[in-house]
Chain A
Amino acid sequence: MNALRNHPQAKWIGVALVALALLALPFALASAGTAWVRIMNLAILYILLSLGLNIVVGFAGLLDLGYIAFYAVGAYAYALLASPHFGLHLPFWVILPIGALVAALFGVLLGAPTLKLRGDYLAIVTLGFGEIVRIFLNNLSTPINITNGPRGISRIDAFSIGDFSFARTDAFLGLTFSGPVKYYYLLLLVMVAVIFINLRLHDSRIGRAWEAIREDEVAARAMGIDTTRVKLLAFAMGASFGGIGGGMFAAIQSFISPESFVLVESVMVLSMVVLGGMGNVGGVIIGALLLSFVPEILRFTVEPLQQRLFGRMLVEPEVIRMLIFGLALVLVMILRPGGLWPSAVRRRELSAGREAR
């Protein structure tokens, strides 16, 4: 194993194998049913969200419980600019950057009044912010109908470039590319870009400034770090990833309503970050994958299992899902308080805590 790891080309062979597996994945999933490709797409969306939130929570240490608001902003930005609702049909490559920018603006809007808050207090304000955005979306149907209220916006355009539409099934090189499979590849591309940006930001002057703020804000200021700017930057960067994710979500679902952006979604994304390992990009990805897939697997296994064991359904899959979800979180926090794959910094923090006790 060590010999393999030390081999200079081993890393690139590993990368190539993972890339191949990811490229082949949708066809393997499609053979089990297109539903699984859709689930995979949603999982990637959650990875995008988790990585965005990871910048705010994991890197800069700012607890944000309203993160889903940025997802909502991105989704509505896309829906309003590419649906019959306003009769606008801008191309997605125009709207996604707009959505990212608008979300970043909302990030700054949330960040600016909360600059002096930390920990619990920041969490409360961000929670309120998330709810405010959702309630606005619910009520901005009168006097001027902007969001269409709780009925949501439907018939949202799919992504398309010229004649190539992401919603249509195409055959290419003897392979069938259904809509979800096409979206999968696009999401994969965006995900790789977001991972890349996350990793690079972490090992940079800006990333170090975020870490400094998380560790000790007073000392960070004494190092010449403009904490106001650097914090707002974290909020804006995190939010823009959420905005891009939201735009893609709107296009893939072709229907959105405020119901998709409730508090539980914020909590879900935060759980992915915490469970996987705050501050560690790899951990966060694992957290997002686990929390997206396990419930779906349960959905498909709980019912047949009960039918076979008891002859009928005793417990709804949804109930078991939440039960296992809660149990898993509690277990992880007891057994691996830094998350499944903690960052080096969190590991140090926790081991230092143990020594002190």
Chain B
Amino acid sequence: MNPPGARNAEAAKPEQPVLLACVDAGKRFGGVQALDAVSFAIRRGEIYGLIGPNGAGKTTLFNLLTGIYAPDSGQFTFDGTSLAGLKPHQVTLRGIARTFQNIRLFANLSALENVMIGRHARTHAGVIGAVLRNPATRAEEAAIARRAMELLEFVGIAARADDAAGSLPYGDQRRLEIARALATDPLLLALDEPAAGMNATESRALATLVRNVRDRGVTVLLIEHDMRLVMSLCDRVLVLDHGERIIEGSPAEVQRDPRVIEAYLGAELPASGVAKTGGAAT
């Protein structure tokens, strides 16, 4: 494995085409401007970080992107077409998969069934196919099960395939959520604080998994509080504070930026401690 700095420098390839472009996204809740004219672009094949203190607008941005809220202003363009007016399931069909900050698995279904449900977006059998179970449906079902099992192996929990999702240990539930999201064949995988509640070992294993996801050709959007994870993993990072874009750049650039330091630590502290204490400050 390359040291994080080297990987970041090597992976920032400006010639990669833009996968997701967000222009002037804004959202207001009552008197609170949760997001104010935020623009950014995610390129194909990168791991793009989104950080900011609590209340910075990260989750709002996430919810605008995935169609849970409609933006008051601004425009999301994904893979060349606008996402305006799409419902969450249509966003998934376009190729954006997500995980949830508070894990939302189908807790009483088996791990395998969870991932199989993820295949819903890319399969077609309807009522008639289900009842007749014709060769096409049977082939599709077999492919669904095969693919689901393959994804469980990919995230490393194939041994727990038949266990209820809710009975898995915390780290495995996070992995299962990623496998389920990958089952929708996304171009972009959006992870909402995947390392929340993980210890250092678990979050290192998560980092490896996220890199493996990227190496499969899936672009990753990572919202995260764990600063060390973001800095070691991401090619570029966008920092939000109070709903506004502060800076976008490589982890090294972001860490040096006085506005980021101010947002996280307050203005008067010296700049040196950000990388180490930033995570704890959130």
Contact = CB atoms under 8 A, between A and B. Distances in A.
A219 B177 CA distance: 10
Given A206-B125, A209-B120, A224-B184, A215 B92 contact: no
Interface string A205-243: 111110110011011111111110000010001000000
9 contacts: A197-B131, A204-B141, A205-B124, A211-B113, A219-B100, A222-B100, A223-B184, A224-B93, A352-B108
B92 A205 contact: no
Contact of B89 (A208, A224, A348): A224
A207 B130 contact: yes
A223 B92 contact: yes
B108 A345 contact: yes
A223 B130 contact: no
A227 B184 CA distance: 16
Contacts of B124: 205
A304 to B, nearest CB: 47
A37 B66 CA distance: 57
B88 interface: yes
A218 B137 CA distance: 27
Contact of B120 (A197, A205, A345, A348): A205
B123 interface: yes
Contacts of A219: 100, 104-106
Of listed A200, A205, A222, A345, residue having the most chain B CB within 10 A: A222
Interface of A: 196-197, 200-201, 204-209, 211-212, 215-216, 218-227, 233, 237, 345-346, 348-349, 352
A153 to B, nearest CB: 32
Interface residues of B, number: 43
Contacts of B140: 205
Contacts of B97: 222
B252 interface: no
A193 to B, nearest CB: 10
A201 B108 CA distance: 19
A211 B113 CA distance: 10
Nearest to B124: A205
B278 interface: no
A218 B99 CA distance: 11
B109 A225 contact: no
B130 A204 contact: yes
Closest 7 CB pairs of A and B: A224-B121, A204-B130, A224-B92, A215-B106, A219-B104, A221-B88, A205-B125
Contacts of A224: 89, 92-93, 120-122, 184
B127 interface: yes
A205 B123 contact: yes
Of listed B104, B117, B122, B141, residue having the most chain A CB within 10 A: B117
Contacts of A201: 127, 130-131
A206 B113 contact: no
B180 A223 contact: yes
B254 interface: no
B133 interface: yes
B126 interface: yes
A352 B105 contact: no
Nearest to A222: B98
